[in-house]
Amino acid sequence: MRQQVFQHVRSRGQAARADVTRGLSISAGSATTLTADLIASGILREVAEPKEVSSRELGRGRPRVALEVVPEAAFVIGIKLSFKTHSAVLCDFAGNVVATATLKAIDRRRSRNELLDEICALIGLITKQAEKSDKDIGAIGIGLPGIVDQESGLIRWCSLLQDRNVDLKSDFSKRCAAPLFLDNDTNMLTLAELWFGVGRDKTDFAVVTIENGVGMGLVVNNRLYRGTHGIGLELGHTKVQLDGALCRCGQRGCLEAYLGDYALIREAETALTHEDFDPNDPEGMLDLLFKKAKTGNAISETIFRRAGRFLSVGLANVVQLFDPPLIILSGDRMRYDYLYADEVLAEMQKLTLSHGRQPCAIEIHSWNDLVWARGATVPALSALTDMMVGGLEVQDL
């Protein structure tokens, strides 16, 4: 119950003891005892409630005293690793963003030591910017494009790394004292939606991301679902075409082999002239391909519409398997409106057995990488909460 009180206050920013009593259905005496204990521990503190709240609820009465998390009680870092730029967010114990930093990534697959060098350099950048030392950081979360086995902690596969089954945690612990929490980057973005986004008001929803690859996160009953070994929900590697296009995972016919950046660039060779095709500038090529499509170039438009049709198949499969009330489409490629055009969403609905029931809602969130990185602070904050407050329900992450 101690941690439930703490989480109730943190999720609302501020809460009076009477709010805690009502929200958790506990007695006023229990609320007073538990909050007093958290205050004595230096985790919560009393603050004056905003005047407009006090006057609205109490008229001319004395303003109520509210509770809030002590922000400086602990600090965590969340990191999003990607192909072009690594991003980091440093948050306080209340979940407020204190500082952000980015680092240009190595433009190739790298060894584990090279990746650790990049991670440590980014940590150094953000702690310096926030005027913190390594000792101030209580935990670090990292989201990466790959498959992380939550039971063993091994990175089974990651598109940034040369090797498979990498034990990054053990190597990281030799360089940094803060505990490290690894997960797939889309899971981290899903946690950002659950803690800070529209997911705060939802018990069930799915997140589908489209960037260099295709990812998926799923929340069921306010809990992040990972599968038995923590490697489930690899939507990008579900098969949509037998013996189809080659995926970077080495198999054929994967969804992301038709939707990911590298898939669209592969198609761009047929639409762009020799002068326009620049393999050293994939971002520029994709933007040019999109610009040509929007100005009526038939080949370019066909490429995006084809990708949209494959996306409709992938989304329909998500609806059929999990029946979420909401799917959030996110990622850098959401700026290409062909991928969420009306005909794509209509095709998705046609491919599902949704007759006579409320169709799955779709929202478009074109977040930048810093939001993904903020999601990576969630397991770090949760671990510190477990240690400092006690009783954290880890399965709720």
Residue from 10, 20, 18 nearest 43 by CA: 10
Residue from 180, 118, 189, 122 nearest 154 by CA: 180
The pTM of the full predicted model, rounded to 2 decimals, is 0.84
Q: Which of 60-64, 102-106, 264-268 has the lowest mean pLDDT?
A: 60-64
Helices (H), the chain: 2-12, 17-24, 28-40, 51-58, 112-129, 168-173, 185-196, 256-259, 261-268, 282-294, 298-322, 342-350, 369-388
* pLDDT digits 0-9 by tens, 130-174: 999 999 999 999 999 988 988 888 999 898 999 999 999 999 999
Average confidence (pLDDT) over 314-343: 92
pLDDT bracket for residue 391 (50, 70, 90): low
Average confidence (pLDDT) over 119-131: 97
More confident residue, 313 or 196: 313
Domains and CATH numbers, the chain: 2-69 (1.10.10.10), 74-191+370-396 (3.30.420.40), 198-366 (3.30.420.40)
Q: What's the pLDDT score for residue 43?
A: 87
- For all residues of the chain together, what is the average pLDDT? 88
Average confidence (pLDDT) over 335-343: 89
377: alpha, beta or left? (left if phi > 0; alpha if psi -120 to 50): alpha
Average confidence (pLDDT) over 54-70: 66
* pLDDT digits 0-9 by tens, 346-371: 999 999 987 767 889 999 987 789 99
